Chain A
Amino acid sequence: MAAQMAAGMATVNMTVNGKPITASVDPRTLLVQLLREHLRLTGTHVGCDTSQCGACVVHVNGQAIKSCTALALQFEGADVLTIEGLAAPDGPLHPMQEAFRENHGLQCGYCTPGMIMTAVDIVRRKGNELDDHTIREELEGNICRCTGYHNIVKAIAAGARAMRGGASASQAAE
């Protein structure tokens, strides 16, 4: 649906954190660039250029993806959720965010948004009772250099249990 505009620009429409957006972008614009540079949603980070570190993880139509390795134009009409949309502004934190704070699951904070978005996706796929082994295997695509993962694993297990109450990512965005 992306209509061509002047000088090689293209238009893309999507819903980001519950709000419809329209952007005119260079066709080679990555989803993460659209989020960070056009929409100024700078919570989604770029930590590598090979899809390894996971700092850029967002949810598209309810599933986690690495936004550094996808073109914005691929997501015409999609529903995108970023770390900024996980909890309502000034409302209570999402249980997974709360669990990361409570368990000291972050230090410098740079990988954290990607970790939290991945963690919520792990819960969607694997359920609320997660053992350490499962969490460690599922974090294969997220690199943290600060924490040694110990407290991230604790945080995700605790956050998963706390999400049993029903707070889901999509609800928070709506």
Chain B
Amino acid sequence: MSATGIGASVRRKEDRRFITGAGHYTDDINRPGQVFAYFIRSPHAHAAIKSIDSKSAAAMPGVLAVLTGTELAADKIGNLICGWMIHSKDGTPMKMAAHPALASGKACHVGDAIAVVVAETLAQARDAAEKVKVDYTVLAAVADPVAAQKPGAPQIHDVAANNTIYQWHLGDAKAVDAAFKTAKHVTKLDIVNNRLVPNAIEPRAAIGDYDSGTGTFTLWNTTQNPHVARLVIAAFVGMAPEHKLRVIAPDVGGGFGSKIFIYPEEVVALWASKRVGRPVKWVCDRSEAFLSDAHGRDHVTHAEMAFDAGGKIVGLRAKTIANLGAYMSTFSSSIPTYLYATLLSGQYEIPQIYCEVDAVYTNTVPVDAYRGAGRPEATFVVERLVEVGAREMGQDPAELRRKNFVQKFPHQTPVILMYDAGDYNASLKKAMELADYKGFAKRKRESARHGKLRGIGISTYIEACGLAPSQAAGSLGAGVGLWESAEVRVNPTGSVEILTGSHSHGQGHETTFAQLVSERLGIPIENVSIVHGDTDKVQFGMGTYGSRSGAVGMSAIVKALDKVEAKAKKVAAHLLEAAEADIEFKDGKFSVAGTDKSAAWADVTLNAYVAHKFSGQELEPGLKEGAFYDPTNFTFPAGCHICEVEVDTETGSTEIVAWTAVDDFGVVINPMIVEGQVHGGIAQGVGQALCEGAVYSKDGQLMNGSFMDYSMPRANLLPTLKVATTMTKCPSNPLGIKGCGEAGAIAAPAAVINAITDAIGTEQLAMPATPSAVWSSLQKSYKLPHAA
């Protein structure tokens, strides 16, 4: 292994600009003549818009325009779309309601954009927005997904009776019923997977810039996938054809899924720019982000797991109601279906699984992918069922898991996926050793002496990543292919630019992708630069989400590097006056087999461009190759997280006293970066379990829509994390990578809740397990030592 190659903890190339304040996030960019947009948003969860009076606002100082859904429709700006088709059990397509960028006729959630003011300064736009008079007729609203389906519930969209978008299912219901009839024990749970607000620390932002001379639009945007944004805004919104629209995603400050989607504000920034003839900038406030960034999770589930007399799982069934909010966001339909139910087999050999999912509209902010996206929800269902099952049957939870692990690969689950490789025993064993599982009873006694309840919780999770084989995704309803592209541009002096369709917003691609190139071509890592996030530079790409950039994005680079090497060998053969078949390439040097003749990388690259040693008719000059890589399967990262907690019986507060994570991510390019991804994922999972959760009032007001009210994980919520890996190579891509970005967020919630419920002796505990929630549960389950 070289110091900068695969497997080395290379310090990040991108860090210097971030630690010196020299990054370029969207809000750091300013265009000549730029003006500012400020959105007027509905204060009501559900209201008819009777009229909008913008006369006095339009006359305010600095105001260039006040635009509403009326102007949007007049300019024939199309609706936002959901790009994944789901069919209901009865074969009918999902009920997708119109989603205009500015509300037309009625507002469907608090925060729904009604109008936009464009002014010379942001302060002027805000001042003028106060003068816009919107006359609403407030309608009855529904925020709860279960209530939304009940007869008499307020109807949000005409296309969706009972607010139901689809009633989907997966698996064989009859076979599951038959399996349950043979069961010795059935564990049943009702689970609410709490609604989360992604809250990347950089708020979303957009600059739309229309060039009337060329008729082209440029959009600077906080996006995880600029090409998909361009495709949707061109083909569906109809702003401009793709070749007249450039999307640039510069430095992006975190995404976690919430920056995948195509949002109203970027559409409006582009459109308004053409309208006013000036570049238009919009930057989201945090409080505004709570009301306009897609939220995550929000499932209500009843689930049952059936065991035979020996503790083997014989079946699992689940019924989930998924809240998709007021409109269907870009990939919302796929999250509670193909990214959720397909993972209900966990790490286990389960012969029969059946899952029903109803997706519903409510008068809340739209819900879509958030770190893990469906897989944390599935893992929580499976890992709570297994844990509670073990407790009910009086078995050791680790032993019950081991007994049911998939042992042979490939393994076909009853819910579509074919696991390609893994060793679940290995990660469980290693985690139990690192966590000193055996010593837990002693530690529990020690805690009891201090008046604390100690608990331990295991979560053996699996995820399907490396999204995704395009043909398979298409057969499941995806509107796009899920391959990735790469282009390798070798310069005459031998330095290399990699153009990738992946996008880094914290993942460190500028380092890890360069490590791959450095190792493969034997050139210094400083001589490699990674270009991403600009549709004028990178021809096409699918972006970064679903832990796909390593497994899919880097595989595309490998494929392009193969072509570069093949071409370079032809050039070297001419340069060294040898047969092409005799040219060997190793450690940045081309040599002729069996001789001492060789040429350095830079000699060959220069010759590729000067083209003096070969005829342009037999070999094209230049050295630049591209590739599209379509994966052969999903990848299946898996592992074991063990959480240990102490609960204060008097206050209900939970302290995480130890955390052990052992993950199998396949081949790891940069262990330092991978560990960082695990740390961050765990923090988000712990946040979901202990403190986070969007709270809506019955009439659809978000009650905790700011950092003052919504509890984000702080440094003092988390312990020092013990992180390790095991390794089975992924057979489904050339590098053997499985992906690591979402694991922590997937594994953590179940580990925390299993630990707390172990401590307090009742399963009646919902997320987030705040001190108040834990204390309330304790009152039912536990006699305080001093209360007699």
Contacts and interface: CB of A to CB of B under 8 A. Distances in A.
A84 B20 contact: yes
B615 interface: no
Q: Which of B12, B201, B287 has the most CB of A within 10 A?
A: B201
Q: Which of A45, A132, A140, A153 has the most CB of B within 10 A?
A: A45
A146 B718 CA distance: 13
Interface string A142-165: 111111111111000000000000
Contact of B676 (A28, A112, A136, A151): A151
A169 interface: no
B84 interface: no
Contacts of B713: 148
B201 A53 contact: yes
B31 to A, nearest CB: 14
A110 B14 CA distance: 12
A58 to B, nearest CB: 10
A139 B714 CA distance: 8
Interface stretch (B22-30, B294-302, B592-600): B22-30
B684 interface: yes
A136 B716 contact: yes
Contacts of B114: none
A136 B716 CA distance: 5
Contacts of A120: none
Given A108-B505, A110-B201, A116-B19, A146 B706 contact: no
A101 B10 CA distance: 11
Contacts of A28: 123
Contacts of B680: 107, 145-148
Contact of A50 (B673, B707, B721): B707
Chain B interface SS verdict (over half): loop
Contact of B707 (A41, A52, A97, A108): A52
Contact of B25 (A45, A84, A144, A151): A45
Contacts of B202: 45, 47, 108, 110
B683 interface: yes
B107 interface: no
Contact of B254 (A44, A83, A108): A108
A11 interface: no
B708 A52 contact: yes
Nearest to B286: A48
Interface residues of A, number: 54
Given A42-B28, A50-B706, A97-B19, A151 B714 contact: no
B526 interface: no
Contact of A143 (B15, B676, B707): B707
A89 B510 CA distance: 23
Interface string A86-122: 1100000100010011101011111111001000000
Given A50-B708, A108-B202, A145-B200, A42 B21 contact: yes
A55 interface: yes
Nearest to A110: B253
A91 B199 CA distance: 35
Contacts of A55: 201
A24 interface: no
Interface in B466-512: 505-508
Contact of B715 (A48, A106, A113, A139): A139
B252 interface: yes
A93 B16 CA distance: 9
B256 interface: yes
B21 A152 contact: no
Given A83-B20, A84-B20, A104 B714 contact: no
A150 B721 contact: yes
Given A107-B508, A110-B253, A136 B715 contact: yes
Contacts of A153: 715, 720
B159 to A, nearest CB: 36
A67 B16 CA distance: 23
A36 B26 CA distance: 13
A112 B712 CA distance: 17
A87 B254 contact: no
Given A52-B707, A106-B15, A140-B714, A147 B20 contact: no
Contacts of A151: 676, 679
A100 B15 contact: yes
B683 A148 contact: yes
Contact of B286 (A49, A135, A140, A148): A49
Contacts of B23: 43, 109-110
A148 B682 contact: yes
Contacts of B14: 109
B20 A43 contact: yes
Contacts of A86: 20
A128 interface: no
Interface string B106-120: 000000000000000
Contacts of B16: 93, 101
Interface string A7-37: 0000000000000000000101000000010
A108 B253 contact: yes
Given A43-B20, A82-B21, A135-B715, A148 B679 contact: yes
Contacts of B508: 107
A100 B14 CA distance: 12
Contacts of B721: 148, 150
B123 A26 contact: yes
Contact of B256 (A26, A84, A145): A145
A96 to B, nearest CB: 9
B743 to A, nearest CB: 12
Interface of A: 26, 28, 36, 41-50, 52-53, 55, 82-84, 86-87, 93, 97, 100-102, 104, 106-113, 116, 132, 135-137, 139-140, 142-153
Given A97-B19, A109-B23, A147-B676, 13 more contacts: A26-B123, A42-B27, A44-B21, A55-B201, A86-B20, A101-B12, A101-B15, A104-B673, A108-B251, A145-B254, A149-B715, A150-B676, A150-B720
